[in-house]
Structure 1
Amino acid sequence: MLEIYVVILALASSPLLSLGDEEVTSEGVSVKIQGQSGGMTIGRTANPDLDNNAVKIKFDAIQEKDENGEVVGTSGNQKHSFNNFAQLPFEISNLEDTKYENLTAKRIIFTASISSVSSNLSVQTYIFSESGNITVDGESTQVDKGTVKFNIVLDGWTFCEVGTCRKGQTDEIGKYVDLTISIKGKGTPSRKTGNNKRTSGEEYDLGGEASVALSRKIRADNGEPNDMPGNYPAFETQGSKQLFVFRFPKFNSKVVYDPTVYPGNADAVSGATPIYSAFPLLLTIILAGFLTV
């Protein structure tokens, strides 16, 4: 019997659980990361897939475009546009203690290589351990315990230029990279306004008390934050997909973009346990076991 309690204690104190995908928990929030596609599910049940109010984030497409917004680099050995991340493997780090600006947080990083353009796509994910205010590329953003922030870093992208990308007899010249991400909550995203927002950027209500803050700014080549061109970020629907499109102008080495997710209240399906409810139950089992040893 004692061996069982040791296993339970080890699981309760483990910073990272691996069940094919990687799942981490902090401040009443669970983040499940898909190692094959880099998708994330963020909720308040021990398994966030069982939270009806969970926020599901999926990389949908990445496309290089020319000055007219036309997709380039769609053929040949060095493709510059991809409409599917399903087969892209991500390397996932361990969860670690860190700070974001002056606030304590947990961090986990997952990275994939896009070899055809000599680029790495890295997602630096933070779960805040305290409430406060941070500056996201010059925009003030409020965070709470359990707020999840993820920095998207596209590093080393090689753009189409004369002699590298062609369509028929015409050279293709890349000017932008459009990253399309599916961000889905319980309801259809609606833009927040006025005092309902927790950021000076854009914030979208996702339903179930969840929302996502989307900065209008990006940072390229370690420079100062600048607005995305045009009306980006843009929201669009494609069938059942709820998509946000982020446009990055041509850069030399890397570009960084920083969304922030506010998880909603737990709405557990039958059999699921909200995270905060699981620990008293676990402690009761452990104490009962020791008393009978």
Structure 2
Amino acid sequence: MQNLYSSGLALCALFLLALGKPPPREREGKLMGNGVHVQGLGKSGKLRIGRKQSLENDSNAMTIDFDSIQEVDGRGAPVSGQGPRRHRFNTFANQEFNITGPTNVTVYGLQATRIAFESVLSTGGELALQVFIFREEGNVTIDDEVTPVKPGTVKFNILLSNWTFCGESGGVNCRGAIGRYLDVTLRILGRKPPKRRTQPPRPPPGRGPKNHNREREFEMGGNVTISFSKKVFIDNMEQSEDMPGDFPVYESRGGNQLFHFRFRRFNTSIMYDPVVNTDDAEVLSSPNTGTHLVAPTVLAMLVACILQLLR
């Protein structure tokens, strides 16, 4: 009987120690502003954007992560080099990102808060993701494209630098192939499959840009939209140019919602920045799966341990 009592005490002690020690958490960076929450993972660089502090329990939250980066030739066919620099990168699950911020900044003349994720790829290139939450209303203007933003609008920049292309001056030997473009694919999951917005909502009298192009804006469900510019900044970051052909391109493949971007060959770097808008008009509750079972169970075990210790 004494042995059973001692064993019970030992189990209670182990349980209380485990209860007091939180499980290890993955490194993450967080932003919050005007009721919008952004979470970025230090491993993989995956982003979650929504209106609940616990984004895992937000059924309207949108998830954005990198699917692949591939160098292609003038016909769009993949090119590949020899050795460790394969001129493609298609696995981000274990990619480590350094996190800096949050920091208050001015971007496109508007006040915002920023957090940054930076990583060195095994291909030799460098990838950075800067995420902003705007704190004031205004317009983001890139040449002839105008995108309205408001407090809580999220903008994220994709920056690629120091990529060594195949062939030509300064390039590497890739069995005679010449890399002309870099294709970047994002996997984006919303409450619903992306639906292209064809008609802009009517702006209030005297407000709203007249040349706001909605053909690359998608509704993601849960009153979340994402807008993709055709403009990309190359090298000097002061002048933009259009992506070639019909890019950016949306594709549904194997249950994945993929958005493809094509950037021409660059010397130093490229920068591309989509815009995400959320609206709290449609707030749907999410079930906290397991919460109602786990909490009473833990409480019952805690009470049992206390009674055991008081015997």
Find the partner of 2:191 among 179, 186, 190: 186
Match of 1:283 in 2: none
SS of 1:194's partner is coil
Contact 1:45 1:268 in 2 (8 A): no
Give the 3 Å change call, closer, same or farther, for CA 152–264 of structure 1 in structure 2.
Answer: same
Match of residue 209 from structure 1: 223
Q: Which has a greater percent of strand? A: 1
2:152 to 146, 149, 162: 146
Paired residues of 2:142 and 2:240 also in contact (CA < 8 A): no
Alignment partner, residue 302 of structure 2: none
2:165 alignment partner in structure 1: 159
Deviation at 1:22, TM superposition (A): 2.4
Q: Deviations over 1:109-148 (max 9, x none)?
A: 111112433x211111100111221214541010111110
Extract unaligned runs of 5+ from structure 1.
1-17, 273-293
The corresponding residue for 2:269 is 254
Aligned position for 2:287? 270
Match of 1:114 in 2: 121
Q: Write the deviation string for residues 6-43 of structure 1: whole angstroms up to 9, x where unpaired.
A: xxxxxxxxxxxx86322222211111101111110001
Identity %: 38
**Per-residue deviation at 1:84?**
1.5
Could you tell me how far 1:234 is from its partner in structure 2? 0.3
Distance (whole Å) between structure 2 residues aligned to residue 189 and residue 133 of structure 1? 24
Deviates more, 1:119-128 or 1:262-271: 262-271
Q: What secondary structure is seen at the aligned counterpart in 1 of 2:192?
A: coil
Decide which moves more: 210-219 or 155-164: 155-164
Task: Report the residue type matching 1:267 in the other structure.
Answer: L
In structure 2, C-alpha distance between the alignment counterparts of 1:184 and 1:262, rounded to whole Å: 15
Please point out which of 134, 139, 145 is paired with 1:133.
139
Deviation of 1:103 after TM superposition, in Å, equals: 1.7
Higher relative contact order (CA 8 A, sep 6+): 1
Distance 1:137 1:253 in 2: 22
What are the superposed Cα offsets for residues 23-79 of structure 1, whole Å, 9 maximum, x if unpaired? 222211111101111110001101112111111101000000011111112652211
Q: How far is the alpha carbon of 1:268 from its aligned partner?
A: 3.5
Give the Cα separation in 2 of the matches to 1:22 and 1:217. Answer: 27
| Partner residue, 2:52 | 45
Runs of 4+ in 1 over 6 A off after TM superposition: none
Tell me, yes or no, if the aligned pair for 2:29 and 2:115 is still in contact at 8 Å: no
Aligned to 1:68: 75
Pairing 1:165-176 to 2, within 5 Å after superposition: 165-166=173-174, 170-176=175-181
Paired residue for 1:54?
61
Q: How many residues align?
A: 251
The change in CA–CA distance for 1:82 and 1:19 in structure 2 (over 3 A counts) is closer
Q: TM-score, normalised by structure 2?
A: 0.76
Q: Which whole-Å CA distance do the structure 1 matches of 2:64 and 2:52 have between them? A: 17
- Alignment counterpart, residue 213 of structure 2, candidates 200, 214, 218: 200
* Aligned partner letter, 1:270: P
**Greater Cα offset, 151-160 or 20-29:** 20-29
Structure 2: distance between partners of 1:44 and 1:65: 38
Amino acid at match of 2:63: K
Q: Tell me: CA distance 1:19–1:29, structure 2 relative to 1, closer, same or farther (3 Å).
A: farther
SS in 2 for 1:141: strand
One-letter amino acid matched to 2:241:
N
1:29 is matched with which residue? 36
* TM norm structure 1: 0.80
- In structure 2, the CA distance between the partners of 1:138 and 1:107, relative to structure 1 (3 Å rule), is farther
- Note the alpha carbon deviations across 1:156-209, whole angstroms, 9 max, x for none: 11101168343xxx4221000000001221111111123239843621111111
Q: More deviation in 259-268 or 81-90?
A: 259-268
Q: Distance in 1 between matches of 2:54 and 2:284?
A: 12
